Structure 1
């Protein structure tokens, strides 16, 4: 018998239909895992591979193998799994071209992981049409709409998922939408429901990481949330990175360096590499920072080879640490694909860093701490000092823990 969505979250989710245009947060978490594999993911992949040698016509197992590869790529930051995932999923669709919602969901997950959000939306729509009762099809459709900036459709899809299967995957998505709207108490409540529903170590670790991200966004870095995640799953990559960030935020920078080294050793994800390099720079360890940035450039090449569209992260990195003109190229391309607030803010900063502040101000925002901080810099470059002071004050109110904001405070601004 199908469970109804818990009344409190269902009511909260209905409110979210009126969400404003997606603006992004300082550091948004990714969507929930496609599937919970916990510690046996590699073993499950090997078992599927062995089985398919004996039964190569099993379309369902080919689809499950593809989903496993997508999840393995997420956990290891190794984009080499994406071509493997695509091969397995397309083989499943070849064997069963009609009604194969598992493979269609896999393609939606894969294209979303590659940041091909229009493609992810289209695959999720096909999956939902093939099996309207598949909750993950609606969840992935919601994820794609969020990234494309259509929060009304995102909420509609999420509500369908909630009605079909209230649980960790749907509650964490609800929390994500409430974070975007900055309805933080509701986001916290959704995460509490997710934690109450979590059964496996992977789900528990994931929810605690999201609690840490919410605490960070509201200006209260929570080391405890990440340590709880690591207690549930020692070595969980997102928790290692979050713990390093929290340590840096509360001034324990020597410990943070060690924590970042562990995090990038386990999962060399581009954003974590950037943060590690910036921390090393702040400590005057420029040679070590440059080493991390070289690793990052290598990672960008690997992700591109795996089919990942990395213009947003690459553009942000080039704007701050590389070639601002290249940053503008990356972000103009990304903005053409999805003109969301998050991308607009990054594009504005790249234009400013390239000496084009008059163009930048048209895209500048102030709805996150990072956006408000960047806007203050653009306004100051244009001689709008009073506006710049207001934007900087807003950034400090939203999240005083950003490293650049702490430097501004140290300078007495």
Structure 2
């Protein structure tokens, strides 16, 4: 065969091979884009509830509609909304955030300025702790429709998480004027709590509960938050009543069960507390339940069991954080949570490393500054802890855990006057504080 013919044949083979690769890639991309995530079964009694059976029916209908018409943006948005709510119900945020974002991408590809799609996208970004991204997306949605109340709620959330509290207050006022309901009143409550007004926070959260539908997940979540506020002012009787009532309205609600666990823990009924937290942990994927169990097992002297659970929490959070770094559609930044998780196993260096990673993203947030300060405290570097704890106190928050930590930091740094003021405020009531922290705070206060 002549060299010219061999050359032409080689070119032809190359073109055919390249075309096959491109076609195969396009087919895979098309299959990926048209893929629809299935609904996962819930845990416990919720798996057989009438509510979940109705959710499964809606999901099946929407998936069928999209199989017939992948460009049906209305069905895509309804399915995304269903996934977002299911994440709240089950705690399976990694899976359902990915499922919802997949639907939203298909909508935004067809309609880049679809308001509802942008709202849902901002909500998911904030759920994943990508707060700066969520604020950018929420601002874009607001530019499209500045008269929607819910978008102001997302702007409140994003600004709170980024430490821009004055802006959050402005957006909360706007939200209440546009949409006076559970979602706006609960945000007002949270901001009042941040600024140290527990009386006002409780009043606003009561209004939020009253405007919701009894038994709905959002309403019972809000009722549990009201119970948590009562814990922070030391009124466990009211907190217990709210959690019991929530369970009567929504049987098996994990967060209400966990609330009962905290009440039992405050009463030093460790056996009952363990039972409640184990039950809650069996119903929902939320590492907060496991972290409470770590604390109780440490208190009761079962350090081996505490270590096993703490390591499991770290592994889960690390996997989630890695997913967030590798793919914006899944996982969430979990460095603040990892900082506290590493502290539980006394790996202070890793705890500080993760706290500082979160600080680099959100240097103005009071909770993040508290975390960094507390890691430096546990490292024994009290001078470095001081500037961070001062930022954490900038809103005049009366959170008893924050006041205890701040008091101890000032105590160790040599400012006995500030330490006495803070520790007295933290320990003068029976407000909920982890037992080890309360003991340490009381011992320090006795010396002042």
In the superposition, the TM-score normalised over structure 2's length comes to 0.78
Q: Number of residues paired by the alignment? A: 376
**Structure with greater Cα Rg:** 2
Alpha-carbon distance between aligned partners in 1 of 2:430 and 2:118, rounded to the nearest angstrom:
39
1:289-300 mapped onto 2 (5 Å cutoff): 289-300=306-317
1:265-304 mapped onto 2 (5 Å cutoff): 265-304=282-321
1:140-219 mapped onto 2 (5 Å cutoff): 140-202=154-216, 203-219=218-234
Return structure 1 stretches of 4+ with deviation > 6 angstroms. Answer: none
Alpha-carbon distance between aligned partners in 1 of 2:382 and 2:199, rounded to the nearest angstrom:
36
CA apart distance, 1:200: 4.8
Distance change >3 Å, CA 398–CA 321, structure 1 → 2: farther
Alpha-carbon distance between aligned partners in 2 of 1:108 and 1:228, rounded to the nearest angstrom:
33
- The equivalent residue for 1:377 is 408
If each structure's helix is expressed as a fraction of its own residues, which one has the higher value? 2
1:206-285 mapped onto 2 (5 Å cutoff): 206-221=221-236, 222-285=239-302
Deviations 1:299-337 (A, max 9, x none): 213422232001111112223424211111111121121
Matched, 1:307 2:331: yes
Say whether the 8 Å CA contact 2:314–2:341 is kept in structure 1.
no
Say whether the 8 Å CA contact 2:232–2:431 is kept in structure 1.
no
- The equivalent residue for 2:345 is 321
Say whether the 8 Å CA contact 1:205–1:228 is kept in structure 2.
no
CA apart distance, 1:288: 2.0
Distance change >3 Å, CA 94–CA 200, structure 1 → 2: farther
Residue 48 (structure 1) aligned to one of 57, 62, 74: 62
Alpha-carbon distance between aligned partners in 1 of 2:386 and 2:196, rounded to the nearest angstrom:
23
CA apart distance, 1:399: 5.5
- The equivalent residue for 1:120 is 134
1:56-135 mapped onto 2 (5 Å cutoff): 56-78=70-92, 79-98=94-113, 100-135=114-149
User: RMSD between aligned alpha carbons?
Assistant: 2.3
CA apart distance, 1:80: 2.0
Alpha-carbon distance between aligned partners in 2 of 1:379 and 1:152, rounded to the nearest angstrom:
27
Report which stretch shifted further, 382-391 or 43-52.
382-391
Deviations 1:178-232 (A, max 9, x none): 1112222222222222222112522331221111111012222311111111111
- Is the partner of 2:259 in helix, strand or coil? helix
- Is the partner of 1:80 in helix, strand or coil? helix
Say whether the 8 Å CA contact 2:156–2:172 is kept in structure 1.
yes
Matched, 1:338 2:355: no
CA apart distance, 1:128: 1.3
Report which stretch shifted further, 244-253 or 257-266.
244-253
CA apart distance, 1:71: 2.6
Alpha-carbon distance between aligned partners in 2 of 1:386 and 1:161, rounded to the nearest angstrom:
41
Say whether the 8 Å CA contact 2:182–2:219 is kept in structure 1.
no
Deviations 1:104-139 (A, max 9, x none): 011111000001111111111111112223221111
Alpha-carbon distance between aligned partners in 2 of 1:38 and 1:356, rounded to the nearest angstrom:
52
Distance change >3 Å, CA 336–CA 191, structure 1 → 2: same
- Is the partner of 1:176 in helix, strand or coil? helix
- The equivalent residue for 2:40 is none
Gaps of 5+ in 1: 1-36
CA apart distance, 1:296: 0.8
